Amino acid sequence: MPTRVELFCFCVFVCSVSADYWSERDAIIAKEQTRSVGGHLRLTDREEKVNKILMRYKYKELDDGLVHPKNFLAGQHFFNAKKEIERSKVFNLIKKLPKGASLHSHDMGLVSFECLYNLTYKDNLYVCTNDGPYRLQFFGDKVDKDCDWQLVSTLRQSNSSFDCELKKRLTLVVDDPHVAYSTLNKVWKAFEDIFVAVTGLLGYEPIWREYFYEAMKELYEDNVKYLEFRGILPQVYDTNGKIYDPFEVVGLYYDTLKKFMEDYPDFQGAKFIYTPYRKLDNKTIQDHIVIYEKLKTRYPDFIAGFDLVGQEDAGFPLTSFINELIPMQQNGTPFFFHAGETNWQGATTDLNLLDAVLLDTKRIGHAFALVKHPEIMKMAKHKDIAVEICPISNQVLKLVDDIRNHPGAVLVANDYPVVIAPDDPTFWGAKGLSYDWYIAFMGMASRDDDLRLLKQLAENSIKYSATTTSEKNDMFQHWQEDWNRFLDEVLKEENIINCKCNSIRCQPN
């Protein structure tokens, strides 16, 4: 039998080894936490107090999800989870948080579905319900003969099921998305059919102005003070037969922006990224480049840069347009390329990532396939190229089912310059930025990622915007003021809640 001395020495040895093990383990966890987006930030005393409130809510949702996995909202399809998300205390705190800028959305999908659908109650709106996608169009005294156009208001009165059918044609939201959209191509076909339907609705000149104004207003109400959006400059018309050219369409945007900023002086502005379809021939792309260059000359403070849009798997890769794009790069054109919005690896689609980086894109839209390319990842981070992650869009358009498996989680964990963006919130029932921020915070981030992550995401949205240094400084100043007000509001509300719970008179924090 071992002596008492031998037992004592053994215990000391085991305790020492055990302490070394736990110490090393804790050090690795701490190192990982500091490597994530926002992990290097130090919170002020007030921020720490708000963070405790936020994390109490977050841990509650996560712990409930561990016990009842089917109820974990960020692990469900957004269509099924949305109503419960709106009851989430984490979500409602994120709604109050000043989120800086929205940097990735598209001209036809900027507003909430409710806002879009309300536009279908405007006078003189007609619908074509022939085979294929619905088409909506405003007419004056003369109605085109190319279709059996019917007045929407008349159909509403005569057909009780019309409203329901029209709504189905303008949204991707369904009860069982996994059944309705069994493949990526199927959901993209439905997605593109919606754009066919809304082009004539939104392209009516008075609606175009109202729609863009409401888009900025919804962002403003969601505590977003700056917008960068992509657009194809669709045909805008009026009922007198006038068709607006691309320069006049941008002029409508520009005038509406000025009007909005007069009404909301603390809104920080908007910029437009010209984005032709990627499934065009080289001559047509060159024509679009000429339009872009003229737009940039005429509206230098509003036109931010150039991109190509459309389903990447079905469109032409960036290599198809290298001869057109390299001269633009040499002339200093800011690119904001969609790239890697695919589940494929080693195909032309995900290799768009390499060409986007080589062409010095300022940001990459989606970059879903980026984590499969370690060399491109290193290049992108070295060049400080921001990644625009659109979590709800990626789920709805069939790239990922459970957001916890989103590759963007790897980028967040490794402190890549990422921003969270909404893409086309209209068509999946979202609004502003808060839904995507909630999904990212609860589903893509680590359990212990906290207020520092949200703060860094807001700062990133300003840092990687297509604004001048002076504009950025002004935006940061205004954002900091909003941030301080946000902290005060959360602490005040928490104090009131505590008062009610304790039924005593509380002292302010």
Is 373 among the residues known to form the active site? no
Closest of 400, 306, 398, 401 to residue 356, by C-alpha: 306
- Please tell me the distance from the alpha carbon of residue 348 to that of residue 3, in angstroms, as a whole number: 71
Paired sense of beta strands 303-306 and 338-339, if any: unpaired
Q: 3-state SS of the chain: helix, strand, coil percent to 5?
A: 55, 10, 35
Strand partners, 230: 106, 273
Contact 205, 252 (CB under 8 A): yes
- Please tell me the distance from the alpha carbon of residue 417 to that of residue 37, in angstroms, as a whole number: 8
- Please tell me the distance from the alpha carbon of residue 81 to that of residue 387, in angstroms, as a whole number: 26
Task: For the sheet with 135-138, list strands across it.
Answer: 135-138, 125-128, 150-151
State which amino acid sits at residue 64.
Answer: D
Q: Which of 47, 341, 388, 459 is catalytic?
A: 341
CA-to-CA separations, 210 to 202, 217, 255, 321, in angstroms, rounded:
9, 10, 11, 36
Contact 407, 371 (CB under 8 A): yes
Cα separation of the two ends of the chain: 63
Contact 104, 460 (CB under 8 A): no
- Please tell me the distance from the alpha carbon of residue 125 to that of residue 152, in angstroms, as a whole number: 6
Phi-psi region of 241 (alpha: psi -120 to 50; beta: other; left: phi over 0): left
DSSP 238: -
Is 478 among the residues known to form the active site? no
Q: Which of 77, 104, 338, 366 is catalytic?
A: 366
3-state secondary structure at position 158: helix
Cβ neighbours of residue 444 under 8 Å, at least 6 residues apart? Answer: 389, 391, 403, 404, 406, 408, 409, 412
Q: Which residue has the tokens 């303008």?
A: 170
Closest of 397, 427, 421, 423 to residue 116, by C-alpha: 427
Positions annotated as catalytic residues are 341, 366
